[in-house]
Amino acid sequence: MRTTFSRTDDSIFGRWWWSIDRWMITAIISIIACGAILALAASPAVAKHYDLDTFFFARRHFMIIPISLIVMFGVSLLDRRGVRQLAVICFGLSVCLLGFTLLNGAEVKGAIRWIKLGGVSIQPSEFVKPSFIIVSAWMFAAWRLKENFPGYLVSVGLYLVVVALLLMQPDVGMTILISVVWGVQFFLAGLPMLLVLVIGLIFIAGGFTAYFNFTHVQSRIDRFFDPAGSEAFQVARSLEAFRNGGIFGRGPGEGHVKEILPDAHADFIFAVAGEEFGLVMTLFIVSLFLFIVLRGFIRAFKEIDLFVQLAVVGLLVQFALQAIINMASTLNLMPTKGMTLPLMSYGGSSMVASAIGLGMVLALTRERPGQRSTWRDLGGKDMGGRLIYDE
């Protein structure tokens, strides 16, 4: 493949082009393109439902796509130290905005998750996800590789702060997502098996507590086990959409589910894909997500840098789990969570946050031939050959 960059090009863009995972970029852009097509298919009917201009949501979606791509490519240019610095800044700002949301946020469907800054609605919890994953990976890696550094205690403290702020909104779905990803990172970093069992019991107890203390959680679980209930309307229409679509779909613009589902352009965008483009399109979308996750895992586990392993695995588990939750709830395989399908659903905060996370994955998995490894700044302790690079 001919490019404008030669292998001898030592510029920042030249080094980036020959070290980045171009196959992963292709898959990411393909998902975004699928989301753009589905936005054109689903959003006009939703805009009509809310008495808005026909292409109100579509225009906004297409405005956020170039911003997200610029953010993703910009983050992918960073070295590993730059990724950590960006994560710390982003995490600090996001936590502050989470606290500000509780004081000045707008209540939507019984939860306070959004704030307006400069006329733009922002969901701070979306930006907590990638930044917290990177910071936790950094702390866990430092804990394993630097003697007497209580990195896991720092991570536990930050986790408790994030969870407390999320539950006060309340946002149980996001809390569960972050908890699972954090638990995976903790386990990979070397969490003792006894603590694994203790944390597992805490998560189970937390699930029962959420059910009995949060009305919307109880409602979603109840209607999952009682599909004939009146509150299961959206899921029932979603399943109907998949049945109507069959293998090849009804055709672009020919679906009907978007006309009666108020969240067809967001939480139920996968159902629109199933009805208008059929099983073929849905399997293609699933394969793109699967390709990104598996390719990222392969590149991560080739690394000897423990920080990179924990960070990339955490980011990809969050990306995959969010996609699974959205698709599974659309297919009535689990209670609905009100969670977007990454890079496809309508929502500026979600798309930009996903772009940041994937940009970090691309940055951390770039090939660095000849790079020297050192752990002198982490106490000189080598755990099983895994190091932290000093860039």
- Which pLDDT band, with edges at 50, 70 and 90, does 214 fall under? low
Residue 4 or 301, more confident: 301
| pLDDT for the residue numbered 10 | 67
- Which pLDDT band, with edges at 50, 70 and 90, does 378 fall under? very low
Mean pLDDT computed over 102-106: 80
Q: Does residue 8 belong to any structural domain of this protein?
A: no
Q: How many residues comprise the chain?
A: 391
Q: Does residue 376 belong to any structural domain of this protein?
A: no
Instruction: Compute the distance between CA of residue 148 and CA of residue 376 in angstroms, rounded to an integer.
Output: 14
Neighbours of 20 (CB within 10 A): 18
Neighbours of 300 (CB within 10 A): 21
Q: Does residue 50 belong to any structural domain of this protein?
A: yes
pLDDT digits (tens, 9 = 90+) for 238-249: 888 888 888 888
CA dihedral for 269, 270, 273, 274, sign (positive or negative): negative
pLDDT digits (tens, 9 = 90+) for 106-140: 776 667 888 887 778 889 999 999 999 999 999 99
Residue 83 or 211, more confident: 83
Q: Does residue 146 belong to any structural domain of this protein?
A: yes
pTM of the model: 0.86
Question: What average pLDDT does the chain have?
Answer: 83
Taking 70 as the threshold, does the pLDDT of residue 74 lie above it?
yes
- Which pLDDT band, with edges at 50, 70 and 90, does 375 fall under? very low
Q: Does residue 388 belong to any structural domain of this protein?
A: no
- 3-state SS, the chain, equals CCCCCCCCCCCHHHHHHHHCCHHHHHHHHHHHHHHHHHHHHHHHHHHHHCCCCCCHHHHHHHHHHHHHHHHHHHHHCCCHHHHHHHHHHHHHHHHHHHHHHHHHCEEECCEEEEEEECCEEECHHHHHHHHHHHHHHHHHHHHHHCCCCCHHHHHHHHHHHHHHHHHHCCCHHHHHHHHHHHHHHHHHCCCCHHHHHHHHHHHHHHHHHHHHHCHHHHHHHHHHHCCCCHHHHHHHHHHHHHHHHCCCCCCCCCCCHHHCCCCCCCCCHHHHHHHHHHHHHHHHHHHHHHHHHHHHHHHHCCCCEHHHHHHHHHHHHHHHHHHHHHHHHHCCCCCCCCCCCCCCCCCHHHHHHHHHHHHHHHHHCCCCCCCCCCCHHHCCCCECCEECCCC
- 194 is in which domain, residue-wise? 20-365
Domain count, the chain: 1
Q: Does residue 374 belong to any structural domain of this protein?
A: no
Q: Single out the residue of 363, 338, 362, 1 nearest to residue 173, CA to CA.
A: 338
- Which pair of structure tokens corresponds to residue 155? 């991570």
Q: Does residue 14 belong to any structural domain of this protein?
A: no
Q: Does residue 382 belong to any structural domain of this protein?
A: no
